[in-house]
């Protein structure tokens, strides 16, 4: 049985799973909503109904591979519009994370853990001085995790490493280099899902087992990789003025080869599926420079921030489809049939976004003297 074929790319988008409604749609800041709706490693946090802008070490970042919490030292959230302070950000707010960096205190932490669905995890966080004087320091964070799920053939696997080196050039000047690599061959997402009849609505008294996989283990795959580099430079001129600069480059890729639900037969026995495939790529360059001034004016301390940010995002999403119907018996699935033949090719979707922003912040904090 063959489904109706789309006649153009706009019609094809209506046939495509909901994830691409978010990825093709315009984000809150006018660029591609890569961290938009849908599953996978790129799903975003929603704040006040909008996709939250994601900042890493002060720079707006976008990646197909979700950030790894084992690499994060601090998380901050700003609720509501914040473009007056941070440039182009979502209307709902922003999530700002700070990566682990070398410290003056030696760190030697190793952990292992396990959980449900066969989860096994190991992390390491090690840091110390490289030189006796302590002007060179290092820190390495790493993680490895594997986990199954309640659905057959659906797994989550990830390995990642975050090395960093800090050079204390002098008492007032620091330079830090940070690199990271995260490999997620399986993101644990069940793209096919389950039909209504057989789950919420029993089909003649029958229900679909929770472990049932309605894709095909020989076809369905979903994963991502991410490689990033960052440097941070800061210099204190005097007790009133300091300078800070952060540069960040990231390259992330996402591979998809998926069956997804089209419609269910009238007797509820058969699920008809379509297929799509994509090899997405995202390059992101960010640079932020700012001067910070601390000026005491009587009972009020003034903090003045003046600087400029630059961001360049290149997104490529080559898409192919097979809109023929691939039936599967919901209650007695047989895998390994003839796979998709991606004869329908959408245009190679490419987006280049460049943004400049300048900020000038002034805040006063009253002094309180207790006598």
Q: Tell me: the pLDDT tens digits for 327-353?
A: 999 999 999 888 888 877 765 555 555
Token duo for residue 160: 């990642």
CB of 177 closer than 8 Å to CB of 230: yes
Cα gap 40→43, rounded to integer Å: 6
Backbone angles phi, psi at 72, to 5 degrees: -100, 135
Average of pLDDT values for 147-176?
A: 95
- How is residue 184 written in tokens? 């997620």
Rounded Cα distance between 313 and 295, Å, is 36
- Contacts of 131 by beta carbon, 8 Å cutoff, 6+ apart: none
Entry field: residues in the chain = 371
User: If 0-12 CB within 10 Å is exposed, 13-18 middle and 19+ buried, where does residue 317 land?
Assistant: buried
> What residues contact residue 361 under an 8 Å CB cut-off, 6+ apart?
85, 303, 304, 305
Taking only the tens place, the pLDDT of each residue in 238-283 is: 989 999 999 999 999 989 899 988 999 999 999 999 999 988 888 8
pLDDT (tens digit per residue) in 71-125: 999 988 888 877 766 667 778 888 888 999 999 999 999 999 999 999 999 999 9
- Picking from 32, 57, 53, the residue whose alpha carbon sits closest to that of residue 44 is 53
Burial of 100 (0-12, 13-18, 19+ CB in 10 A): buried
Q: Is the pLDDT of residue 21 over 60?
A: no
pLDDT of residue 111: 96
pLDDT band at 301 (very low <50, low <70, confident <90, very high): confident
Distances (CA, A) of 79 to 11, 51, 92, 173: 36, 12, 6, 33
CA distances from 367 to 257, 295, 297, 299, 302 (A): 60, 13, 10, 5, 11
| pLDDT reading at 356 higher than 70 | no
46-47/50-51 β-pairing = antiparallel
Nearest-angstrom CA–CA distance, 279 and 254: 6
Beta bridge partners of residue 2, listed in sequence order: 324
pLDDT of residue 350: 54
Distances (CA, A) of 148 to 119, 199, 213, 256, 258: 7, 21, 13, 19, 19
pLDDT at 147: 95
If pLDDT is split at 50, 70 and 90, which confidence band does 10 have?
Answer: very low
Q: What is the mean pLDDT of the chain?
A: 80
Please report the pLDDT score of residue 190 as a whole number.
83
Between residues 26 and 170, the one the model is more confident about: 170
- Could you tell me which residue, 257 or 191, shows the higher pLDDT? 257
Residue 24 has pLDDT above 50, yes or no: no
> Is the pTM above the cut of 0.85?
no
Q: Is the pLDDT of residue 22 over 50?
A: no
Residue 246: its pLDDT value, please? 95
């Amino acid at each position: 049985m063959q489904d109706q074929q789309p006649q153009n790319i706009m019609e094809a988008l209506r046939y495509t799973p909901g994830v691409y409604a978010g990825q093709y749609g315009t984000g809150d800041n006018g660029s591609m909503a890569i961290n938009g709706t849908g599953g996978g490693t790129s799903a975003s946090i929603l704040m006040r109904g909008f996709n939250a802008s994601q900042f890493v070490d002060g720079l707006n970042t976008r990646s197909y591979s979700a950030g790894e919490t084992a690499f994060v030292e601090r998380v901050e959230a700003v609720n509501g519009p914040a473009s007056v302070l941070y440039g182009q950000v979502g209307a709902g707010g922003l999530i700002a994370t700070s990566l682990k960096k070398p410290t003056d205190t030696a760190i030697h932490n190793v952990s292992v853990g396990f959980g449900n669905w066969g989860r096994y995890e190991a992390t390491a966080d090690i840091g110390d001085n490289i030189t006796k004087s302590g002007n060179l320091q290092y820190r390495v964070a790493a993680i490895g995790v594997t986990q199954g799920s309640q659905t057959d053939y659906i797994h989550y696997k990830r390995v990642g490493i975050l090395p960093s080196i800090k050079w204390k050039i002098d008492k007032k000047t620091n330079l830090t280099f940070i690199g990271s690599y995260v490999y997620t061959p399986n993101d644990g997402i069940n793209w096919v899902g389950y039909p209504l009849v057989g789950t919420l609505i029993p089909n003649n008294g029958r229900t679909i087992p929770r472990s049932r996989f309605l894709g095909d283990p020989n076809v369905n795959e979903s994963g991502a990789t991410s490689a990033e580099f960052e440097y941070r430079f800061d210099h204190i001129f005097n007790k009133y003025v300091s300078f800070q600069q952060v540069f960040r480059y990231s390259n992330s890729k996402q591979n998809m080869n998926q069956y997804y639900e089209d419609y269910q037969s009238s007797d509820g026995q058969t699920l008809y599926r379509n297929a799509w495939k994509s090899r997405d790529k995202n390059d992101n360059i960010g640079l932020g420079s700012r001067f910070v001034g601390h000026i005491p004016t009587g009972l009020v301390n003034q903090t003045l921030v003046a600087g400029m940010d630059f961001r360049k995002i290149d997104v490529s999403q080559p898409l192919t489809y097979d809109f023929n119907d691939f039936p599967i018996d919901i209650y007695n699935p047989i895998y390994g049939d003839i796979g998709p033949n991606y004869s329908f090719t959408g245009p190679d979707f490419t987006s280049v976004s460049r943004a400049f922003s300048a900020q000038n912040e002034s805040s006063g904090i009253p002094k309180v003297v207790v006598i």
